[in-house]
Each structure stands twice: as structure tokens, then as C-alpha cells.
């Protein structure tokens, strides 16, 4: 059974994944957490500084070690029995309390660093973040529902490429599409509303003036979060995927791009 975790109003968790002190990301992290602390009680998970182990292993699956079974179900059982390792329980407590989640990382090989992926693998366990069926529909409480519903997330990502090369027609692919597994397949999956990405382009070539400009742009963005609309992803429970996990044939027929999973004009008000 999934436990619905009610966030504490005015509480934020900033999860930071960059290994170097004094880096541009480090400066951005400090500027962002200081600015957010003016309006929120901010807790930080500096994953590299904490030495967080991203590897899901037997210790995460309860006792006895080596028993057979589905990994997700075993981790969920370990969660329900209070047998998860202390570092995972600590991260889950911080996430459960937060109404705002900020994820900050550099784009490495077109995705987040492995340490952040491992944080999801170990922290978003069955029973904590997802798992129940909706008794009314018989559908899993996922994609807009689940244990972490009622939260909002901002993804702050630094990229070495310019806006065009990592844009809709760029050789590297569109950044929104590259991070769809994070925004939709991870955050929205467990019920967290997602704001538009905050992207720093050409991060490798910024001079001192550029660094200060980007720190200021992040501070300004953080001031508007409470009034920003979240991305209108389609919810599983609303029937758009009725009878299957594919979008109904009568909705946006002929399209196969990832944008079909966003409500269009006129749909969001239904």
C-alpha cells in the first residue's frame, strides 16, 4: 500500500548533483538555496558531499539477503517493514516533508549524473512513492497520482551546448525530450507536478559576468515559482489512455511525438 505523504507548507528540498566545490554549479546551488530560503524552509541533499551511494543493492531489499522476488516489490516490502537503510530513510523523510522539490545537475551524456539516477532508484520505492490501485478505476495510482502528489518540482540543468543545438531542431535533440524520462517518467509518474525547465546554455564558456547574470536569473525565477503553472501532463486516471497505456487513437491522431502527453488548448479546462 502506498502512503500519501502530505507536505509541510513552505518547505523545500534542493537535491544537488555536482562533484566540484567552487564550480559554476556550486555557485548556482548556493545562490539558489540562499534566495529560496527567503520564502521557504530549505533542506538540501548535496549528493556528492554526502557520499550518497547510488547503487541499489541487497541492503535495499530487506532481509534475508538473496531471497527471490521482484526487486521493486522487495524494496517496497523493506520500506513497509522499516528495513530500508538509514541513508534512504533520511532522504525519504526530507522528500515527504517538502512541497517544493528542486533538482539541479549538469547535463552529462544527455541525462543527469549517475548519482542522481541512483537517488531515484533507491529513494522512490514502491509503497513510498507509488503502488496503490485506485479503487474507483482499478488503475494504478501513477502519472499524476501517487504517494508524492501535491508537490511541485523545478529542474535546474546546465548544458555545455547552445540553445539551438539542443533545441527542437538541434543535432543533440530537444532538451525537453531528452529529459522526458525525468520530468514525465519519474516526477509525474509519482504525482509531482513539473514546472518548465530552468536551463543554463553554454555553461562551459561563461565568463565572470555571465556567471553572475545566470545566478541572478535563477534568483529571479525562484521568486515566481508560486504563481507558475505546471506542465499540463495527462493523468492516467482521466481516461485518455483507456484500456491501454497508449494514448487513445481519437486523441491527436497521427502524432507520435512526446508532446501528445501534454493537454492541448481547450483540454486543460476539462
Query: pLDDT tens digits for the chain (270 residues)?
Result: 555 678 888 999 999 999 989 888 999 999 999 999 999 999 999 999 999 999 999 999 988 778 888 999 999 999 999 999 999 999 999 999 999 999 999 999 999 999 999 999 999 999 999 987 777 767 788 899 888 999 999 999 998 877 788 888 888 889 999 999 999 999 999 999 999 999 998 888 888 888 889 889 999 999 999 999 999 999 998 889 876 789 999 999 999 999 999 998 667 655
Over its C-alpha atoms, the chain yields an Rg (Å, rounded) of 19
Q: Is there a domain that residue 100 lies in?
A: yes
Short-list 149, 203, 194, 202, CA closest to 176? 194
Q: Is there a domain that residue 238 lies in?
A: no
6-29 confidence digits (pLDDT tens): 888 899 999 999 998 988 899 999
Contact 162, 171 (CB under 8 A): no
189-221 confidence digits (pLDDT tens): 999 999 999 999 888 888 888 888 988 999 999
Spatial distance between the Cα atoms of 107 and 124, rounded to a whole number of angstroms: 21
What pLDDT is recorded for position 269?
55
The residue whose grid cell reads 541525462 is: 111
Domain residues for 224? Answer: 11-233
What pLDDT is recorded for position 173?
85
What pLDDT is recorded for position 165?
82
Spatial distance between the Cα atoms of 144 and 27, rounded to a whole number of angstroms: 33
What pLDDT is recorded for position 268?
60
What pLDDT is recorded for position 6?
83
Quick check: pTM over 0.75?
Answer: yes
SS3 33: helix
C-alpha distances out from residue 231 to 29, 144, 154, Å: 24, 11, 11
Q: What is the CATH number of the domain that holds 209?
A: 3.40.50.360
C-alpha distances out from residue 187 to 2, 14, 21, 104, 138, Å: 16, 14, 28, 14, 22
SS3 206: coil
The residue whose grid cell reads 545562490 is: 31
Short-list 153, 156, 190, 126, CA closest to 17? 156
248-254-259 Cα angle (round to 5)? 75
Q: Is there a domain that residue 120 lies in?
A: yes
Count of the separate structural domains present in the chain: 1
What pLDDT is recorded for position 221?
95
H-helix segments, the chain:
24-36, 47-50, 71-80, 86-97, 114-123, 175-178, 180-182, 208-224
Q: Is there a domain that residue 23 lies in?
A: yes
Amino acid at each position: 500500500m502506498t502512503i500519501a505523504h502530505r507536505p509541510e507548507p513552505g518547505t523545500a528540498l534542493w537535491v544537488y548533483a555536482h562533484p566540484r566545490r567552487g564550480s559554476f554549479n556550486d555557485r548556482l546551488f548556493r545562490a539558489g538555496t540562499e534566495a529560496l530560503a527567503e520564502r521557504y524552509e530549505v533542506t538540501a541533499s548535496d549528493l556528492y558531499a554526502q557520499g550518497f551511494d547510488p547503487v541499489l543493492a541487497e541492503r535495499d531489499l530487506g532481509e534475508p539477503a538473496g531471497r527471490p522476488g521482484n526487486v521493486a516489490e522487495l524494496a517496497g516490502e523493506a520500506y513497509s517493514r522499516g528495513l530500508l537503510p538509514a541513508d534512504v530513510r533520511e532522504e525519504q523523510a526530507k522528500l515527504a516533508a517538502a512541497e517544493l522539490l528542486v533538482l539541479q545537475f549538469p547535463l552529462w551524456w544527455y541525462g543527469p549524473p549517475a548519482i542522481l539516477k541512483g537517488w531515484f532508484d533507491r529513494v522512490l520505492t514502491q509503497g513510498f512513492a507509488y503502488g496503490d490501485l485506485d479503487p474507483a478505476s482499478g488503475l494504478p495510482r501513477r502519472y499524476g497520482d501517487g504517494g508524492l502528489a501535491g508537490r511541485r518540482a523545478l529542474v535546474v540543468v546546465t548544458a555545455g551546448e547552445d540553445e539551438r543545438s539542443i533545441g527542437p531542431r538541434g543535432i543533440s535533440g530537444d532538451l525537453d525530450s531528452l529529459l522526458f524520462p525525468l520530468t514525465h517518467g519519474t516526477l509525474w509518474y509519482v504525482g509531482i507536478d513539473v514546472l518548465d525547465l530552468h536551463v543554463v546554455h553554454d555553461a562551459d564558456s561563461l565568463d565572470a559576468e555571465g556567471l553572475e547574470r545566470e545566478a541572478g536569473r535563477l534568483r529571479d525565477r525562484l521568486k515566481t515559482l508560486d504563481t507558475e503553472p505546471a506542465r499540463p501532463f495527462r493523468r492516467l486516471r482521466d481516461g485518455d489512455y483507456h484500456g491501454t497505456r497508449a494514448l487513445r487513437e481519437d486523441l491527436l491522431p497521427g502524432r507520435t511525438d512526446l508532446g501528445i502527453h501534454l493537454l492541448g488548448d481547450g483540454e486543460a479546462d476539462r
